[in-house]
Structure 1
Amino acid sequence: MVLTMKRKHPGCGNIVTFAQFLFIAVEGFLFEADFGRKRPAIPIRYYATMVTMFFTVSVVNNYALNLNIAMPLHMIFRSGSLIANMILGIVILKKRYSVFKYTSIALVSVGIFICTSMSAKQVTSQSSLSENDGFQAFMWWLLGIGALTFALLMSARMGIFQETLYKQFGKHSKEALFYNHALPLPGFIFLASDIYDHAVLFNKSELYQVPVAGVSVPIMWFYLLMNVVTQYVCIRGVFILTTECTSLTVTLVVTLRKFVSLLVSIWYFQNPFTRWHWLGTLFVFIGTLMYTEVWSSLGIARSQPRKEDKKD
């Protein structure tokens, strides 16, 4: 659904994010916070720090699509959260990993570099025949890469922050889901004009008769509703996973989901995807599989647990 929405209205990311946050916040207020009567197990000040990072990552990733960043590159680049998470885990948590995992990170890095380089050439060549316009498009693309890099590091830091909170205060996935979406809502005031403009555009979309219900609504609003419901199921599963696994494991699962979305977007948007892009994607995918050390189940890796993995 979100692919269809962004194809028709490329700048609709803010209204989509706002709708997702609002739905989850209302649901959590009714069923988790008990209309505000239930005290949080984790102090609000920690949630405030977490949601600041969460809100920033969401908005920056949305705006990157307006900076000459193609959807395939956007998805592949964000898969580098595995790299960022491992680097910050080493720096902040003093973790150490196996040779397999370090190798996987190298493969993922090479894959992202290849795809980024190829997309840079496409942006410059397709933007205009004018050298001046091509340079301007390339500079916007560089700004988009900078935005994605910032969001990548911020997202990894947030994952580590969540991991330490759950170790200190216990597992509270539903509570975290609610506060991570309720506290950022006032921040959407700064995006109100953009949200309103796209609401007007959604109202002007063609009518669609909803099955079973028998009512007709603008099709963009129907797409938005379906996206909100499916995103709720997805994000709730991710928050449950964060309480049961380390941030690196969560990042791995989310990365694999993004690759499925990547393949769908290439087919749906008919984006140019050269053999170099496929090679880069293959490196990222193989590196992700190596990170899980699936080879150990085949008897290739050592059966004994490694000391460096005990902290993972």
Structure 2
Amino acid sequence: MVNAPNIKAFSLFSIVGFTCTSCCSNVITFESLIKLESNTSTFITFCQYVFVAIASYVLLVRKYGIQNSAKLLVVPTTMPLYRYLISTYGFCLASVLGNIVFRFHLSLPIHIIFRSSSTAFTMLLGYLIYRKKYSLGQILGSVLMSLGVITVTISNMSDRSSQPNEEPQEFRIYVSGLAILVGVTMLTSFLSLYNESSNRIYRAKERSGSWLENLFYSHLYAIPFFLLLPGTLKREYELVESLSASSNFKKYWAFLLANVITQLLCVAGVNKIAILTSAVTLGVILLLRRFLSLLFSMLLFHNEMSPLGMLGTIMVFAGAGVYSYSIGAENDKMKMKEKRE
């Protein structure tokens, strides 16, 4: 892995800027699609996976040659295939459930904030399952993020319950959506720990391959998951077709095309940054991307927050910053210790 200091600053900033721009654009196009038809999230996710798998396959064929195209369907990894598939299908399930929560009247800012707090869940599961130990800074950052999420949730639920037209049934639907979002965040946290364990046991980081191969296989093997949901895909596709009588039909397909393209650019950029920089730098960059997405969502789609909600948001991102800084300090100490030895 190449460390950040060995990379030209201009090159790194270019990749970071490219990734943040494409990821924020992806969030904007996704929310635009949800505004047109909120019940097609699984169909959108399916289109994303198919498009990224096809596009990355074409790029791999260009890289290795058409004569080796058949070999690309075999995973070049030293770890057992079942572990790779567990990770792929787990993240695929998290992606589908994460998009489904929009049907429960959850705003995008709430979605972003909860997903940004996954570090706290990762620490909790890491301690309970793998008996991991964490520094004071990591614990403080985790506590800040958790309190921030609780603050935003209480603020948002209070705002909804005080609305005169808010029916009890709609409020229960909203709470159900929050429960699913908590489950999704815990699932992604567990999968992150699972992948870390796989890399440690089988030394997957040392295997041959590139970010492009990882991008292809993680999307290729996720496609059969969607084939288990033919009824859902058909029903959501019919909802899209029902828009044909209005001007929203062409808008939907235009936004969908923009969404799958920006999804490819976003995940490609994230995979490339993961190779060029340390995990801490990647975490900070992803945090910046989420923060920018949150700001764009609030500005473009009028997802307003109360002062209490804004305080909670600041706590979440401040906690993530403290956590990232703490990891960086720990890494610096380890490097200094290795130099002395």
Q: Same fold (TM over 0.5)?
A: yes
* Mapped pair 1:64 → 2:101: yes
Instruction: Give the 3-state SS of the residue equivalent to 1:32 in structure 2.
Output: helix
Q: Which residue of 1 aligns with 2:43?
A: 15
Partner of 1:293: 325
Equivalent in 45, 55, 58 of residue 30 of structure 1: 58
Q: Distance in 2 between matches of 1:126 and 1:219?
A: 32
Deviates more, 1:253-262 or 1:286-295: 286-295
Q: How far 1:303 sits from its partner (Å)?
A: 11
Provide the C-alpha distance between the structure 2 equivalents of 1:246 and 1:293, rounded to a whole number of angstroms: 13
Q: Is the 8 A contact 1:108 1:287 kept in 2?
A: yes
Q: Secondary structure at the match of 2:319?
A: helix
Find the partner of 1:5 among 19, 23, 33: 33
Q: Secondary structure at the match of 2:71?
A: coil
Aligned equivalents of 2:101, 2:331: Cα separation in 1: 43
DSSP-derived class of the 1:54 partner: helix
Which residue of the partner structure matches residue 98 of structure 1? Answer: 135
For residue 196 of structure 2, the aligned residue among 144, 163, 182 is 163
- What residue is the counterpart of 2:157 in the other structure? 120
Once residues 242 and 325 of structure 2 are traced to their aligned partners in structure 1, the CA distance between those partners, rounded to angstroms, is 48
How many percent identity over aligned positions? 25
- Separation (CA, whole Å) in 1 of partners of 2:214 and 2:42: 22
SS at structure 1 position matched to 2:137: helix
Could you say which residue in structure 2 is the equivalent of 1:254?
286
Moved beyond 4 Å, runs of 4+: 201-205, 241-252, 301-304
Unaligned runs of 5+ in 2: 1-28, 62-67
The 5 A counterparts of 1:195-274 are: 195-201=236-242, 203-204=244-245, 206=247, 218-242=250-274, 250-274=282-306
Shift of 1:252: 4.6
Q: What is the CA RMSD across the aligned residues, in angstroms?
A: 3.1
Structure 1 unpaired stretches of 5+: 208-216
* 1:178 pairs with 2:216: yes
Aligned partners of 1:302 and 1:233: how far apart in 2? 32
Aligned partners of 1:204, 1:182: CA distance in 2, in Å? 34
Q: Which has the higher contact order (CA 8 A, sep 6+)?
A: 2
**Aligned residue pair count:** 292
CA distance in 2 between partners of 1:119 and 1:103 (Å): 24
State the alpha-carbon separation in 2 of the partners of residues 303 and 30 from structure 1.
Answer: 38
SS of residue paired to 1:291: helix
Separation (CA, whole Å) in 2 of partners of 1:303 and 1:58: 31
Structure 1: which amino acid aligns with 2:234?
Answer: S
Deviation per residue, 1:122-154 (Å, 9 max, x gap): 22233736xxx32x2222122111101110011
